[in-house]
Structures are given as structure tokens and as C-alpha cells.
Structure 1
């Protein structure tokens, strides 16, 4: 079946009441225009509503991508930053709405940055700037942004991303740890709207990405190890204290 037909069927299913995740004309038209198979590869699986793993990242199911896009609600001409670009599909849909020259994307994993650039070029969105950055720091060179989309979970809105918002800008992100909610955050980190439960992988920091040369322990694991160590005594410490008490008892 032709990709155009598969794409129409995909968006139709996302608009129908059973799913109802595509509600606006802007998102619906953009998802009908963006050739998702340029980002996923196989034409048949590209338009199935399911997620899959690729180079250590999750390629979002179309219905999940639609939820993010509807919450973000970019307008034509908006300056947009996508954090966690992955293979670039969500970025492409944003570029279709806002204009490719207005969209910037970053990812912490270098192979994904190269792949996103290639995919966006092949799909006709080569003007999108894609760079390798730590998502926690955002992309301050091109701030302020009308919209920032974070495609990974965080307990609190990253301060740098909030600081890079325009005065009336908005950050859309999955917030939480084990229990997550898709939220819209405004300047000052105030939650403006909640869009229901989601489940995303946590935001990565340097040392945690899949292409790291040496991954014996991540920075997050270092912190947890230090916290555990601070709250307990090691075996040699117990032995020393025991012997000390025995010596004091003999005096």
C-alpha cells in the first residue's frame, strides 16, 4: 500500500473517538504531510500505532507523539526547541507547523543527532538545526523560545529550559518518576495544565547515553551510591568499633 494512504489511515485512526488524540487541524494536517517512513524505515511498521527501541532510544508511537504535539500546540512562526530529538519524527511535525527554520532540536546521543539530521533532510526539513547537547542545559544561543518540548521524564522542570522560555512561552514535558503526568509549564516553573498520565524514560545526563565509551557507573548511580554510603557503616568500621568497645571494657 502507498505511504500516503497508510499515513491517511494512521491519522484517521488517531482522530476517531476510540483514540481521539488528534484534535486540532494543525496537528492532523501536519501528521498527514510528514512522511513517517523516512524516520522509521519500514513503510508498513512506520504507520502502525506502536513504539519501538532504536539506538537506545524509544521511537514514540504515533498516538503518543500526537499527545505531545497537541499539548505543545505550536503556531506558524513560533520559535521551538525539541529536547530529546531521537530519530526526528516529532521534530518534523513541529517543523511542518511552525516552519523548519524556526525549529531547533538537541539530543545527548551523537549517533541519534546524525540520524535525526539525515532523516529530517530526507523528509524535506533540512533547515531544522539539530545539535548534540545535554538536554538539561537547553540551547541558550537561540533562546527565547515560544515552545519547548521535552521528550523525556524529569521530576522537576529543568531550570535552564524554563529560563529559555519567552515571557508567554510554554514547556511541555512528562513530569514525575514512577508516576508521570504530561504537563504544560510556564515561566517561573508554574504548571499551567495537566494532560493525563504518561510513561517516558527519564532524562539522560552525560555518562548515561547508550553510546558512552565507558559506562561502568552513571552520574545518577554515583549520587545514589554516595547517599547510601553516607547513611551506613561499612564492615571494617563495625569491626573497629567492636574492638574499641572491648578494649574499653577491659580497663
Structure 2
């Protein structure tokens, strides 16, 4: 089975939705999780994870962790020898996402509240992979700086999904379709 499909099978979306939204867990669209944020469309999450090419044992950053679903999916992909750091700016969502993640029993992953004015978690860099589940106006250079040489960053920027790959001081950026996300704050 494809690793991303296996992660989806092992990580049901319903456990990362508010009770009122769980009956719609199979809906292939974004679902409201409160505070003006959404749980992303499964097809979009799948496309992003395929682009990210997460491998076992990697160190991964999940920006805009929200409900914790993408953090849990990433944790499944890296396995217990890897690590996933989720970061969420909204305190209520960070706490709720961390509780959802704890229920998924993947202790090699965590979600913390973001520090205002700091994008990502530079103190834990470099990361092999970075996933961003909110739309930036321009390529977020602070996240590119937290990426290991040969790593991969998947981020929606101005409506386009970008794959960013630093290699030996050069940064390759490719576009992979058009998407809509909540804004990266």
C-alpha cells in the first residue's frame, strides 16, 4: 500500500473534528474547526503529502497544525524513529490539536503554540520536511532557512502550491496546481 494511503487509513479524520462535524468526516472538502480555521480537504492533504515525500525516521515540521490531523498523518509516515513538531498560532487550537494528537497515540509527535512573530520552530531546525497548511502571500524565507539541504517544503503561496528544495546553496521552487487555504498568520 502507498505510504500516504496507509497513513490516511491509520488516521481517521473524524477524530480530529469537533463533535458537530464528525458526521461529515468523509466529505472531501474543508471543514470548519472554529476560530476561522478549517480541517483541510482530504484530497488536498493527500496531494501535499505526496509532494512532501516523507520517509521513515525523518524530522518534520507541521506549520498550521490546527486540529492535529496533518501532524498525526506525518507522524504515521515518519514512524517512531522519526519526529514531528506541529506548531499552531491560536492557543485554543494548539491545545485542542495536542489533545487530538495524544489520543492518536503517536508520542514521537507534538503540537505546541507558536511564538508570536516567529514562523516555525527554528530552535529545532533543520527539518527534513516542512508542511504548511495555510496560505502565505510570498515564499516564507524563515521556513526555507529551517529546511535541511536536500529537504522538501510544501507550502501554498498566493494560490499556488509550491515545492521548495534547497540543494547546495541553491533553492529550487516548482509549482503544483492552484489551491485555496486560510491565510498564514
Map of 1:58 onto structure 2: 38
User: Structure 1 segments of 4 or more deviating over 4 A?
Assistant: none
Instruction: Say yes or no: does 1:162 pair with 2:139.
Output: no
Higher relative contact order (CA 8 A, sep 6+): 2
**Richer in strand (by share):** 2
2-structure distance, mates of 1:53, 1:35? 17
Cα deviation, residue 51, structure 1? 1.4
The structure whose Rg is larger is 1
Of 120, 128, 132, 1:150 maps to: 132
Q: 1:151 to 1:135 in 2, by over 3 A?
A: farther
Cα deviation, residue 110, structure 1? 0.3
Map of 2:87 onto structure 1: 106
Q: 1:175 to 1:136 in 2, by over 3 A?
A: farther
1-structure distance, mates of 2:22, 2:178? 29
Q: 1:150 to 1:189 in 2, by over 3 A?
A: farther
2-structure distance, mates of 1:148, 1:189? 17
With structure 2 as the length reference, what TM-score do the two structures score? 0.88
2-structure distance, mates of 1:186, 1:155? 19
Aligned pair count? 178
With structure 1 as the length reference, what TM-score do the two structures score? 0.66
Map of 2:23 onto structure 1: 44
Q: CA RMSD in A?
A: 1.9
Structure 1: gaps of 5 or more residues: 1-23, 205-251
